[in-house]
Amino acid sequence: MNITTGKVPKAQKVVLYGVEGIGKSTFASQFPDALFIDTEDSTQHMEVSRFDKPTSWTMLMQQVEFVKTNRPCRTLVIDTIDWAEEICKKHLMAANGWSAIDAEGYGKKFAALATEMGKLLDKLSEVIDVGINVVVVAHAMLRKKEEPDEMGAYDRYELKLEKKTAPLVKEWSDNVLFAKYMTTILTDSKTNSKKATGGQRMMYTTHRPAWDAKNRWNLPDELPFEFAQIAQSFAEATVGVGQPVQQPPNQPVPTQSEPAPIMPPENDVPLPEPQPDFSPDPIVEINPAIPKPVADLMVHDRVSFEEIMQVIYVGGFMPADTPVENIPPDLWGYFQANWDKAVNLLNTKIRTF
């Protein structure tokens, strides 16, 4: 049995939410070596690294998987999780033939949404396990809160997510930071009129009746909304995480017990070491009649126009030689939601190797 003491550095799971326009994306961009999955084009004015905007739930999940497998950054930023939830809703609607995500059937649709969002959080945890920090950005919303043992109700800031999804995101995170403008109310002693002043951007790190927040860095309850305010605590929590393993100092040099390596002749040029191929995928020509979410998946998986049409014909979805312009939108929606099945049909019954 192994027993350890002291703090264990690890990649951090941070949820950052706040009111509109306060600078959440800018704050998130200051985490080390940040790479954005920008679901709402909020970083187009910023000098940051980003994936193409995900146009489907499958594409978003592929981007997270790419980060886990290839480790192209030290921090992955989902900006924002509430827009990602909207992409997830469209995915479920297309996959199940639903016209909306609502409480029909005793909340079955909201439960399905929470399950699918949970899959995203599980995949983000896998990113954490390989030493990459994850920052989840979200908008804030005001919701009326009523306590059964108190008189009346009050407004409370919460994550702008569905009621079954928000608790999952909060429980998943190590730190939930809430940002808003601090406003001071001044009262004129002569006229008793009130005037709002101030507007300083503030960050709140602990739970209050008026908002959700938590942290494991022993931060003060209230701080200016600046990355410098958490930089030291973040660095201490992640020291050494995601860094290459260093050889311990003063290691003895191995004795020359093995034969010396054979050197190439003077006229020969040594071959370079093989390097992983991160070059862009070859361009796939996409017919403009194909919706962009499906087109993006085709480009990612190198599926040509002729191949997707063969999937439609061989799969029995439409008669052979049906023009692409006559493919109904709900069939494209089905492919978007069941892309793995379409690719499997392509690989097993259409492509020849």
* DSSP secondary structure letters along 62-114: HHHHHHHHH---SEEEEE-HHHHHHHHHHHHHHHHT-S---SHHHHHHHHHHH
Residue-number span of the structural domain to which 121 is assigned = 13-237
Residue 98 falls inside a structural domain: yes
Shared-domain flag, residues 106 and 213: yes
Shared-domain flag, residues 296 and 165: no
DSSP state of 325: G
Shared-domain flag, residues 296 and 231: no
- pLDDT-wise least confident of 6-20, 82-96, 149-163, 233-247: 233-247
What's the rounded Cα separation, in Å, for the pair 135 and 124? 10
In the chain, pLDDT over 70 holds for what percent of residues? 80
Residue 192: the pLDDT is 65
**Residue 330, pLDDT above cutoff 50:** yes
- Determine which helix (DSSP H) or strand (DSSP E) holds 158, and give its type and residue range: strand 153-159
Residue 305 falls inside a structural domain: yes
Using the 3D structure, point to which of 237, 264, 281 is the last residue of a domain.
237
76 has which bridge partners?
A: 35, 134
**Residue 283, pLDDT above cutoff 60:** no
Shared-domain flag, residues 301 and 214: no
**Residue 219, pLDDT above cutoff 90:** yes
> Mean of the per-residue pLDDT values for the chain?
84
**Is residue 140 a contact partner of residue 181, using CB atoms and an 8 Å limit?**
no
What's the rounded Cα separation, in Å, for the pair 169 and 80? 12
Residue 279 falls inside a structural domain: no
Question: 64, exposed or middle or buried, with CB in 10 Å at 0-12, 13-18, 19+?
Answer: buried
Shared-domain flag, residues 220 and 312: no
Higher-confidence residue of 139 and 148: namely 139
Mean pLDDT confidence for 18-30 = 95
Residue 253: the pLDDT is 42
Using alpha carbons, list the distances in angstroms from residue 95 to 60, 91, 98, 164.
16, 6, 8, 20
Shared-domain flag, residues 233 and 297: no
Residue 242 falls inside a structural domain: no
What's the rounded Cα separation, in Å, for the pair 208 and 204? 9
Pairing label, strands 13-18, 175-187: parallel
pTM given for the model? 0.78
Mean pLDDT confidence for 161-183 = 94
Residue 180 falls inside a structural domain: yes
Shared-domain flag, residues 229 and 300: no
Residue 283 falls inside a structural domain: no
144 has which bridge partners?
A: 155
Cβ neighbours, 10 Å, residue 96 = 12
Shared-domain flag, residues 82 and 170: yes
Residue 246 falls inside a structural domain: no
Domain with residue 167: its CATH number is 3.40.50
- Determine which helix (DSSP H) or strand (DSSP E) holds 235, and give its type and residue range: helix 228-237
**Residue 304, pLDDT above cutoff 60:** yes
Shared-domain flag, residues 58 and 129: yes
- Determine which helix (DSSP H) or strand (DSSP E) holds 224, and give its type and residue range: strand 222-224
Shared-domain flag, residues 70 and 203: yes
264 has which bridge partners?
A: none
Torsion of CA 189, 195, 198, 202, to 10 degrees: 110
Pairing label, strands 34-38, 222-224: unpaired
Q: Which residues of 215-240 are buried (b: 16+ CB within 10 A; e: fewer)?
A: bebebeeebebeeeebeebbeebbee
Residue 189 falls inside a structural domain: yes
Shared-domain flag, residues 126 and 222: yes
Shared-domain flag, residues 172 and 321: no
Number of domains in the chain: 2
